[in-house]
Structure formats: C-alpha cells, structure tokens
Amino acid sequence: MTAPQIELVLSKDLDQDLRKIADKVIAGERITFDEGVILYKKGELAFVGALANFIRERKHGDNTYFNKNFHVEPTNICVFDCKFCAYSKLLREKTEYDAWELSEEQIIEKVKSYEGTAVTEVHIVGGVHPKMGLHYFANLIKKIKEIRPDIHVKAFTAVELEYMCRKAKVSYREGLQILKDHGQNSLPGGGAEIFAEAIREEICKDKCTSDEWLEIHQTAHEIGMPSNATMLYGHIESFEDRVDHMNRLRELQDKTGGFNTFIPLKYRNGNNQMSHVEEVSVIEDLRNYAIARIYMDNFPHLKAYWPMIGRDTAQISLSYGVNDIDGTIDDTTKIYSMAGAEEQNPAMTTEQLVKLIKQVNRKPLERDSIYNIVKDYTNEFETKEASPY
Ligand code: MET
C-alpha cells in the first residue's frame, strides 16, 4: 500500500531537493540538518506525509500504541515564569484558576483511588514549588510504590529535576539515583521547549538551559532510566530552530539510545503572556509530525498527545508518522485545558481509544510505559468498517 502512495507523490514535477530527500528516505538513509530545513520550507503535506507514513509502516506496520495512565500534578505554584504557560501561579496575575498545592495525603489518596483498576503508569509533573524538594518527592514515590508496586512512575521534567538537585546540593547523577532507588522508573519529556538559546531567552529565560536539559536526560539514560523528549512548536521559533532542536536530540540519542518517544507539543495561546502569538494550523501540525518522523530516525516512537491536539487530529496524525496517542488520562491534567485546548476534561475510555485507532484501519495495542505490549485489542470493540485509503 505504501509504495504506490509514494510513487504518486514522486511522479509529480518534483523539486530536485525534495526528490533527493525522498530517495534517501526510501533507501533508509538519514537526512541532514539542511534537508530538514528544506522539508519545512518546501515540503507540502502530501509529500512529507507520504514519506512519514512509509517510515511509520516500515518501523511499526499498523501498530498503534496507547496506555492506561493517570497524572498527578502536585501543584501549579511555580518559581519560573515561562511566557507560554497558562498554568503557573506565583509570579503571575490572578486568573480564573486558583493556585493549588496537594498534600502528600491527597496525592496518596489519588493513587489509592485507582486500586483495582488496570492503570499501568502514573505521570507526575507540575509547577516548580520552592518547598517541594528532592527528598519529599523521593519519599512520595516510595509511598506510591508501596501501594502500587507494579505501577510505572514517570516523573519530573528536567526543569523540575535541575531545580530539585540544585536546592538539595546534589549532582544530577546523585539526585536521579536517589529517585531511582525510591522507585522512579523514567522521565517524561517536558521542559525542552525549544533549545535555540535566543528563543529560550525570549520565552522561558529563567528555567534550566538547553544544555542542562540534555545533560539531565543523558545522565538518566546512563543510570538506566529511559525518557521521552518534547518540542514546543508553533510560537516564535523558526524552521531552523525546530530542526536544531530535533538535531540536538538525535545526537544525544545516537550516544545513549535512552529516548523512547518524541512528542511534538503544539503552542496553544490561551491565558498566557504571549496570547497575541497566533496558533499554527492543523496542516502545520501534521507537517510537523511528518517531518519529525522523517528527521528523528533513531527515535522508535512518535506520539500525538491527544489532550493537546484533540482526538480528531490525533486520529488523522496516524497517517502522518504518528504511532502512539498516549493514554486514558482520566481527567487528571490541567496543563493544556488551561491553555485553551478543546479538551477541557481530558479522559478517554479504553473503548474510545481502541475505536479511534480501529476507525482508521490501524492496530490498537495497549502498551506499558516502555512499549511492551500489554494487550492486543484487534478483536475487541467492533467499529464501523473503515474504507481503505
Ligand atoms: N514544570 C515543568 C517544566 O517547565 C512543566 C510542568 S507542566 C506546567 O518543565
């Protein structure tokens, strides 16, 4: 099915630069930085989409992953002041949302509320609270593991970890080892934003630097904790900045192999300090997924985070390189709903996730946090037969 799709795109009067890139992709070769920029500048959606889908099917066939998870967001009080953030409260004017600070008991109660359910992962991120430190969180993780020894704890962005380690006066390696010893399994990909220093200075100058973000992930990989990586796109960055961002990640992945998934995050412009910056179109979202799939040749997985992009676009993205759509969530995160995303109470049942995947002729597989298959849902939740495409 894939080859004719590509033929169709190539048989047009194709730009020579794009032709060369297509030949490389079909041959399984890596594209260069300059070629990444060319894709952003000249690659129409149909072209980059066909290449990305070709790669997706070569790597994964129709396999499409989701998981059963929930989030814990201990607080939205934050010492940092990222201009794109609609979430943090401390340095910010009061908005319709109040500050919150969960107690340890409240967090433990939340975890207990999932007793007897089939969740496999808890995702813990939030504001960088001056009083919630490394040892507090290490003990919290230990308590979570006492209640749910089987649950995968994916916790704390590099931004949160940099602050925690600095305050506790430990090296990244020591800090990460303490968290690992208390039961933390992996790191989420947040806080990367855009690595280009000039843009970082404009949008989030007071939090950890790009080099620190990369060093923390490298250190985590070295001590056996895998991680994910994100890129906040569609604000004031250039196409060169996006390729530079992906390039730094691709280089680190060549060294460590510790990243599982790349997650492009769309800039949403609600309730923040740069709301005048327009959001990009859905076409650009899909082009960005596709180019990421083409460029990040050493990342196994590409995720569309549905609470951010919406379930319709997440479904379409499965034809543009994406092979993972995250999880059930159960209305436990406010990060994107506060930024104006359509999903104001993000939650999907297993049936909804499976049907979303089956409707577009993909294979729904529940995974754990490190992509072991938990269950194949091919024969469950019958849905209207999808047309071939
Ligand atoms: N505190 C995190 C960071 O900046 C993000 C958590 S969600 C507001 O990396």
Q: How far is CA 192 from CA 110, 343, 347, in A?
A: 28, 23, 25
- Give dist(CA 346, CA 334) in Å, integer: 8
Per-residue pLDDT tens for 39-85?
999 999 999 999 999 999 999 999 999 999 999 999 999 999 999 99
The atom number, within ligand 1, closest to the CA of 190 reads 9
ipTM above 0.90, yes or no: yes
| 78 known member of a binding site | yes
> Using CA atoms, how far apart are residues 264 and 74, in angstroms rounded to an integer?
24
Give the residue, out of 84, 88, 128, with the most ligand 1 atoms within 8 A of its beta carbon, to mutate for a pocket test.
Answer: 128
* pLDDT 10s digits, 303-312: 999 888 999 9
Return the pLDDT at 318: 97
Structural domain 63-376, CATH architecture: Alpha-Beta Barrel (3.20)
DSSP conformational letter for 272 = S
Domain coordinates of the chain in residue numbers? 63-376
Q: Is 82 assigned a ligand-binding role in the annotation? A: yes
Collapsing DSSP to helix, strand or coil, 350 comes out as: helix
pLDDT band at 271 (very low <50, low <70, confident <90, very high): confident
Task: Work out the pLDDT band at 93, boundaries 50, 70, 90.
Answer: low
| pLDDT over 90 at 92, yes or no | no
Determine if residue 208 is labeled as part of a ligand binding site.
Answer: no
Indicate if ligand 1 lies below 6 Å from the C-beta of 335. yes
Between the CA of 226 and the centroid of ligand 1 the distance, in Å, is: 18
Tell me which residue has its CA closest to atom 8 in ligand 1.
126
